[in-house]
Chain A
Amino acid sequence: MRLSALPPQFRDTSAHSFHADADWYDELDSFRALLADDWPAAPVEEWHLAQSFLSREARLVDEGRFNDWLDLFAGDCLYWVPVTAGGGDPRREVSHAFDDHRRLTDRVYWLRTGLAYSQIPASRTRHAITNVETVVDPEGRRLVRSTFVVHEFRAGVAKTYAGWYGHVLLPHGDDWLIRLKMVNLLDSEQYHENLTLVF
């Protein structure tokens, strides 16, 4: 359901999830199809803006500014880290993260409780993002595809995660809001220790 059509009691998407309906799942399927397409090379300006957005988002995570990071997301957002390569069917499969706005708010709240022992000490991360491609879809949404390497250090152990991001960004004033951030880990269905870092 479109956010503008939500009944008043459900407007606060950090507390309610009335919009995450069957259509919302269907739209997710269409995003995945779009993100799997071949795209033409983007004009330099668009490419630069897309890359800048991703760099800024990554920096907020790396600096632990999770509330600022949360502010980048739209009310009907999804932060998605699938288990099955390519996403599988989330209607019948679980994901590492399948966070609507409320659950993403929970996640940030949880990270900041100071009581999550899996994050004591907290992960130190550095995101490196390359291979950025971008295109605007017919509805004016900016699609961005990129390759990431996340270096993490926590509790004496250094780890590296690699994969690709799919972003769907909605125009928002002079900026964008994240409608979808899909994190496709190269080894998403394999052995992982402590995936509580933010990708």
Chain B
Amino acid sequence: MTIQEQRPAAMAARIDRWTDLVRPDRVHRTLYTETQVFAEEMVKVFGGESWVYLAHESQLPQPNAFVSVRMGLRPVLVTRDRHGGLHAIFNRCAHRAATVCREESGTAKSFQCPYHGWTFKNNGELVGVPWPQGYGEMDRAEFGLTRVTRVESYRGFVFGTMNADAPSVEEWLGHARPWLDHWLDRAPEGEVLLGSAAYRMGFRGNWKLAYDNAGDGYHPSFSHRSLLEMASRMGESKDMSYFGRTPDDGPMVSYSLGNGHSVIDQRPAHGDEPGSFWRNQRPQPGREFFEESIRAEHGDDADRLLDLAIGAQINLSIFPNLLIIGNQIQVIEPLAVDRTQLTWHATRIGGVPDEVSILRMRTQEDFPAFGEPDDQANFEEAQRGLAAPEAEWILMNRGLDVTEWQSLVDGVIVTAVTDELHMRSYYDEWLRRMREEVR
């Protein structure tokens, strides 16, 4: 019996309408195809029961800044008030439902609904309605914009939930927190900044296909064959080619971090010496010139700096919608049961020379151009395959019976990189949220 099966499993505990659909080794196709399941997920999985990622503080650089996001399908404005405090309010007029703000981001002390002129402060309070005599005694406190019940930031990452009783973000991040810390602490100033443009990539498939894939060390050798082939054009094999050599026998590992979070650690495939990330990276525009200038200017420190132009070599999945990949923040934004936006925010960091920043941009253009589109094509083809009603199951049984793969390290399960444990684990959390068991 594997370690996963020894721990108290939510899925075995209860008999209800999900029991037959989410099994220890497989999930039912209807979880990816039924609009009713999707509608329920958009409430319960995306904020109704527990935390969901909303925005990054660097998108709200000053008092009264706002950014327009989605929390599930709810249009939400994440705002700073005049004192800098964070709020998340529904972009939905309390009167007749029109959005009160149609800009993607900006600065506003208040929002006036363009439909009938109701005006709200950027914390959601109703400040005025035109011609109030039409309402007799109106209690304005009753008609503010709906607020996201709790909003918390962890080192710049802003999360929200409608569940007043949810644990703190730190507690909920749990074992994922040290990994996020590691990712942030790579930056000399301990923070990353968005605002280096974002790819809003879309695919015609269910959002979970993206989450299934994010912790999947099984697919790269196949789904990314074009990239691996391209990388060998000039002889040397580069980044990710190590996935092609029976990855389960290699040094990479995958961790199941609890609460639906997981991480793939690719670092061991690169070795420990500074400069190894840089050396393994497919060449970017300007690589030779900028490397030479950085080495000339920074001597022994050059390898450390050059590595900062390259991704962290961890793929951290924070359930349900925040993926850290390379140097990028990827946000899963479901649009419909069979349509998903994946927003890839490029990041920059302070405390590095301009040359490193330039190379960092060029590195972040590589995988989204030559890797991710092939994955998304496969997600779309999976969605097409899911249309066949008689073939009912999506399997997630790889590694389930391989007892020697899993071991317990500091309270988390570590396993082979192609183990589908990450799927089995996040479906535990998915079930908890769908069953309203989070509290």
Interface residues of A (CB under 8 A from B): 1, 10, 15-21, 24-25, 83-84, 88, 90-100, 102-103, 105-107, 109-110, 113, 115-118, 120, 155, 189-196
Contacts and interface: CB of A to CB of B under 8 A. Distances in A.
**Chain A binding surface, main DSSP class:** loop
B180 interface: no
A10 B198 CA distance: 32
Contact of B369 (A25, A96, A117): A96
A35 B318 CA distance: 44
B135 interface: no
A24 B186 CA distance: 29
B352 to A, nearest CB: 12
B97 to A, nearest CB: 23
Given A95-B365, A113-B229, A117-B226, A20 B200 contact: no
Given A106-B230, A191-B341, A17 B283 contact: yes
B201 A113 contact: no
B289 interface: yes
B172 to A, nearest CB: 29
Given A93-B346, A193-B203, A1 B289 contact: yes
Contacts of A193: 201-204, 376
Kindly name the residue among A25, A95, A116, A120 whose own CB sees the greatest number of chain B CB atoms within 10 A: A116
Given A92-B357, A118-B377, A189-B200, A19 B227 contact: no
Interface in B202-224: 202-204, 223
Contacts of A16: 288
Contacts of A88: 197
B348 interface: yes
B198 A83 contact: yes
B382 to A, nearest CB: 11
B358 A25 contact: yes
B287 A190 contact: no
A102 B226 contact: no
B285 interface: yes
A84 B230 contact: no
B374 A117 contact: yes
B361 A21 contact: no
Contact of A103 (B227, B285, B346, B381): B285
Contacts of B380: 155
Contact of A189 (B197, B286, B362): B197
A171 B108 CA distance: 51
Interface in B374-415: 374, 376-378, 380-381
A116 B284 CA distance: 20
A20 B227 CA distance: 23
Contacts of B370: 106-107, 110, 116
B376 A194 contact: yes
A166 to B, nearest CB: 18
Contacts of B196: 92-94
A106 B233 contact: yes
Given A20-B289, A110-B370, A94 B197 contact: yes
Interface in B261-320: 282-290, 292
Contacts of B256: none
A33 B364 CA distance: 26
Interface string B352-368: 00100110011011001
Given A84-B197, A95-B197, A194-B376, A24 B361 contact: no
Contacts of A24: 286
Nearest to B335: A191
Given A118-B376, A195-B201, 12 more contacts: A15-B234, A20-B285, A92-B196, A92-B358, A94-B365, A95-B365, A96-B365, A96-B369, A99-B285, A107-B369, A115-B225, A116-B226
Contact of A192 (B197, B202, B285, B288): B202
B209 to A, nearest CB: 14
23 contacts: A21-B286, A21-B289, A91-B361, A92-B196, A92-B358, A93-B197, A94-B199, A94-B368, A96-B369, A98-B285, A98-B365, A106-B230, A106-B233, A106-B370, A110-B226, A113-B225, A113-B230, A116-B370, A117-B223, A117-B374, A117-B381, A118-B374, A190-B200
Nearest to B290: A21
B346 to A, nearest CB: 4
Nearest to B354: A91
A195 B226 CA distance: 16
Contacts of A192: 199-202
A2 to B, nearest CB: 13
Nearest to A94: B346
Contacts of B230: 106, 109-110, 113
Contacts of A105: 233
A116 B288 contact: no
B357 A91 contact: yes
B196 to A, nearest CB: 5
B427 to A, nearest CB: 26
A77 B381 CA distance: 36
Contacts of B377: 117-118, 120, 155, 194
Contact of B289 (A17, A95, A191): A17
Contacts of B201: 191-193, 195
B373 interface: yes
B361 A93 contact: yes
Contacts of A117: 223, 226, 374, 377-378, 381
B286 A191 contact: no
A50 B383 CA distance: 45
B200 A90 contact: no
A193 B233 CA distance: 27
